[in-house]
Amino acid sequence: MRLNPFNTDNIRVRQGGDGGRFPGGGGGKVGCGTIVIAILAALIFGVDPAQMIGQLEQGQQQTTGSGQVAGSQNETAICNQNAYAAEGCSALDSLNSTWAPLFRQAGITFRDPTLTYYTGGTRSGCGSAQSAMGPFYCPGDEGIYIDTAFFNQMERQMGAGGDFARVYVMAHEYGHHIQKLTGVAGQIRSAQQQNPRAANQLQVRMELQADCYAGVWAGLNRDKIDRGDLQEGMRAANAIGDDTLTGGRGNPENFTHGTSQQRMDALRSGFEAANDTVCDRYMEFR
Ligand SMILES: [Zn+2]
């Protein structure tokens, strides 16, 4: 995807803490391949962060480090710390410019999310975060959290490389931000409380809608799409479907993100429609 270079006036970027390492390996060393990959992959694209962080907080030490709002000079440095970070800043810039007018048209107040890059671990409005969690969105502070080292893992261990696979991650997390602003996230949470047996099914709807929104963003920026981009997105969506992650042996009732087919369909339908209303269908239970 040929994104324009980021402009720090349009984005809010922070450097999170370089906190504690994930017990048992952290960065490079990965032991039991498949299981670790499955866990990592399940975590990308939004395992319920509150739930996840809750578990981390119970079981592990809090990490240190505070995400500070950076001045624009700082923001430039943060975005330029590596190629992945720069690409993410450009994607965020594009996402803000794409979605803000749509919110204005719909008469819904728009706030841009913050983006925090971190290594190892950091604090978020949802508690402490570890890089092993993968990218996530925290509704509490309306922040997207990304350890850019994760993109290496995505490419090497999941076969989901390519710039569009990475910006799809960003656009998916941004999709959760959209759901926070539109109130969909809150509606899902209360529906889950009212009907705990349908909690996973509702979670799947939310994840697929976020995939769909990622597709809409790409579809509205079609002029920036390279040949092969959509294929990269499809490969990523395929790799992180619940059925693929469980090797076809998972019980669909336990799925929280949707099957590979559902995730690919969601991304593609958003892309082809290039219109966010196509993503409403995931919320038709209301
Ligand atoms: Zn998600």
Asked if pLDDT for residue 161 goes beyond 50, the answer is yes
Greater confidence (283 vs 48) lies with 283
pLDDT at 27 over 70: no
Q: Is residue 235 part of a domain?
A: yes
**Token pair listed for 238:** 């395929």
Residue 3 lies in a domain: no
Q: Write out pLDDT tens, residues 138-152.
A: 999 999 999 877 877
In a domain, 118, yes or no: yes
SS3 category, 123? strand
**45 C-alpha vs ligand 1 centroid, how far in Å?**
4
pLDDT tens across 98-147, in order?
A: 999 999 999 999 999 999 998 888 888 888 877 667 789 999 999 999 98
* 235 Cα: distance to centroid of ligand 1 (angstroms): 17
The 10s digit of each residue's pLDDT in 41-77 is 444 544 444 444 433 333 333 333 444 556 777 999 9
Question: Is residue 183 within 8 Å of residue 206, measured between CB atoms?
Answer: no
Position 73: which residue type? Q
Distance 286 CA to ligand 1 centre (A): 20
pLDDT averaged over every residue in the chain: 83
Q: Determine the distance separating the centroid of ligand 1 and the alpha carbon of 48, expressed in angstroms.
A: 7
By C-alpha distance, which of 225, 127, 119, 209 is closest to 173? Answer: 209
Residue 104 CA to residue 117 CA, distance in Å, equals 28
**Considering the domain boundaries, does residue 149 fall inside one?**
yes
User: From ligand 1's centre to the CA of 187, what distance in Å?
Assistant: 16
Residue 161 lies in a domain: yes
The pLDDT score that the predictor gives to residue 18 is: 65
Instruction: Report how far ligand 1's centroid is from the alpha carbon of 175 (Å).
Output: 8
Cα of 73 from ligand 1 centre, angstroms: 31
Q: How many domains does the chain have?
A: 1
The CA 278 to ligand 1 mean position distance, Å, reads: 18
**Tens-digit pLDDT profile for residues 206-238:** 999 999 999 999 999 999 999 899 999 999 999
Report pLDDT for 157: 77
Residue 155 lies in a domain: yes
Which amino acid type is present at position 253?
E
Residue 257 lies in a domain: yes
Domain that holds residue 139: 8-283
* Residue 2 included in any domain: no
Task: Please answer whether residues 3 and 92 qualify as being in contact, where contact means their C-beta atoms are separated by less than 8 angstroms.
Answer: no
Half-sphere exposure of 84 (CA within 13 A, CB side): 21
